Amino acid sequence: MTDLQWARISNDAFNVALFAYIAAMIGSFVFLAFRRDAIWQVSRAIAVAGVAANLVSIAARGLAAHRVPWGNMYEYSSLLALLVVIGALVVLEGVYKVRSLTGFALMFSVLTMAVAVSFLYVGPGPLVPALDSYWIKIHVQAAIWGSSLFALGGIATIAYLIVDRAERRKLAALGSQSPPPIMGGSLDLDAVSSDAPDDLVADSAEDVRERPSERRLVPSAAGLDRLAYRIISVAFPIWTFAVIAGAIWAQEAWGRYWGWDPKETWSFITWVIFAGYLHARATSGWKGRRAAVIALVGFASLLVTYYVVNLWIVGLHSYAK
C-alpha cells in the first residue's frame, strides 16, 4: 500500500474510534442512569471496538510517515486518548472493578480527539531534525503514559469530590435527626487517616473494589480517594522519568539539560504540584479534600503543559507545527 492509502486508513480509523468512543460514552452514562447490565455489556463492546480502531489509526499513521507515530500534537492526542480508554477498561474496570468512571474517561478521550481533529491535524510526514532522536521517543512515550494516568487520577479525584460531598450532605441530613451511623470509614475521613499518619500508599485494591455483596455501583468516597492516590502514585514516577528523559534529550539537542523553556517550566510545575500532593497525603490533616484540590490543580497544570504551552507560548519545543 502507498503512503497515501495508509494515511487515509489512519484518518478513517481515527474517525471510527472517535465515534465508537462517543457511543460508548453515551452508553456508559445511560448505564449509570438505568443500571442495566446489558447496556454496560454493549457499551463496553463498542469501547473495545473503538480501541481497536484507535490502534489501527496509530499504526497506519506510523506506516504512512515511516517513523514512530508520536511526533506531533495530533499524534500525541490520539495516543493519549487510546491509553486513557485502555486504562479505564483494564485498570479501573479490570483491576479495581469500578465501572462508574469509564464514561468520564471516555469523555476525556472524546474531547482530546475532537480537539485533535479540529485544531491540531497535520498530515503524516517526517520529523523535524530536532525531534528525530532516540531519547525523544522514550521521553514522549513516558510523558503520554504519565499523562494518561494523571488523567485517570484526575477523573477519580473529581468523582471523589462529588461523592464525598454527597456523603457529607447525607450525613448532615442524618445527623439532624438521628445519631450518625457507626459504619463506614468513608464518612469521617480525617479520623480514618489519622490512624495511619505515615501511610503514603493507599491500602490495596480490596478497599477500592466494590464488594460483590454490596452491589454498589459507585465506590465510597474513601475508596475513590484511595483509587486516585494509587493511580497518581504510579503516574508520578513515570512523569519524573519523562522529565529526566526530556532533560537528557535537551542536553543532546541543544547542549543544555535544562533551560527554563516554557515546556520544561510547565512540566516542572506539574511535577512540583504532584510532589506537593504526595507530601500532602503524607501529612495528616491534609488528606481527603484538600489533597484532592491539589491533585486537580496538578491536572489543570498538565493540560496547560500539553495545550497552552504547545499552542500559545513560544518555545524551542516545536511540535505544534
Partner 1 sequence: MTSAQRPTLHQSVALVWRTLRSMRTALILLLMIGLASVAGSLLPQWPNSPERVIEYRAEHAFWGTFFDRAGLFDVFGSWWFVLLTTLLFVSLIACLVPRTRALWRALRTPPMHAREIDAFPCYTDMAVVAAPDVSLEAASHTLRRRRFRVARDPGRPALAAEKGVAREVGSLAFHWAFILLLAGVLYGKGTGFSGFAVVVEGQTWIDAQANYDGQIRTGRFFDGDFTGAGVRLRDFRSDFRRTGQPMDFVSEVDLLGPDGSVLGPADIRVNHPASIEGIRIYQINFGWAPTIEIRDRGEVIASGAVVMDRDPAPEGVEDFAMPWRGIVKQPGAGAGGADRAIELELWPDSRGLAALLQGDEPQAMLVEFDPIIRFTVWEGTLTDLSTNRLDTRLLDEVSTGILGAGRTADLADGRELTAGETASGSAISFPELRQYSVFQVSRDAGVPLVLAAAILILVGLLPALYGSRRKVWVRIDPDGEGARVRVGGLAMQRKPQFEDEFARLVDAIASAAGGARAQVPAPDDREPDDREKVQTR
Interface residues toward ligand HEM, by CB under 6 A: 198, 200, 275, 278-279, 282
Contact of residue 190 among ligand HEM, partner 1, none (CB under 5-8 Å per partner type):
none
Among 206, 212, 213, 215, binds partner 1 (CB under 8 A): 206
Q: What is the nearest approach in angstroms of ligand HEM to the Cβ of residue 280?
A: 10
Q: What is the nearest approach in angstroms of partner 1 to the Cβ of residue 66?
A: 12
Q: Between 60 and 231, whose beta carbon lies closer to ligand HEM?
A: 231
Q: Are 83 and 142 in contact (CB under 8 A)?
A: no
Q: Between 179 and 255, whose beta carbon lies closer to partner 1?
A: 255
- Give the integer Cα–Cα distance in Å for 210 and 212: 6
| Number of residues this chain uses to bind partner 1 (CB under 8 A) | 54
| 200 near partner 1, judged by CB under 8 A | yes
In 3D, which of 152, 13, 142 has the Cα closest to residue 76? 142
Q: Between 19 and 286, whose beta carbon lies closer to ligand HEM?
A: 286
Q: Between 29 and 257, whose beta carbon lies closer to ligand HEM?
A: 257
- Sites for partner 1 among residues 121-140 (CB under 8 A): 125-126, 128-130, 132-133
Contact of residue 269 among ligand HEM, partner 1, none (CB under 5-8 Å per partner type):
partner 1
> What mask, x for binding partner 1 by CB under 8 A, covers residues 233 to 272?
x--xx--xx--x--xxx-xxxxxxxxxxxx--xx-xx--x
- Sites for partner 1 among residues 14-43 (CB under 8 A): none
| 275 near partner 1, judged by CB under 8 A | yes
What are 241-250's contacts with CB under 8 Å, separation 24+? 241/142, 241/146, 242/139, 242/142, 242/143, 242/145, 242/146, 242/267, 243/267, 243/268, 243/271, 245/135, 245/138, 245/139, 245/142, 246/135, 246/139, 246/143, 248/135, 248/139, 249/133, 249/135, 249/136, 249/139
For ligand HEM, the nearest residue by Cβ is: 275
Q: What is the nearest approach in angstroms of ligand HEM to the Cβ of residue 203?
A: 16
What residues make contact with partner 1 under the rule CB under 8 A? 125-126, 128-130, 132-133, 196, 198-201, 203-207, 233, 236-237, 240-241, 244, 247-249, 251-262, 265-266, 268-269, 272-273, 275-276, 278-280, 282-283, 309, 313-314
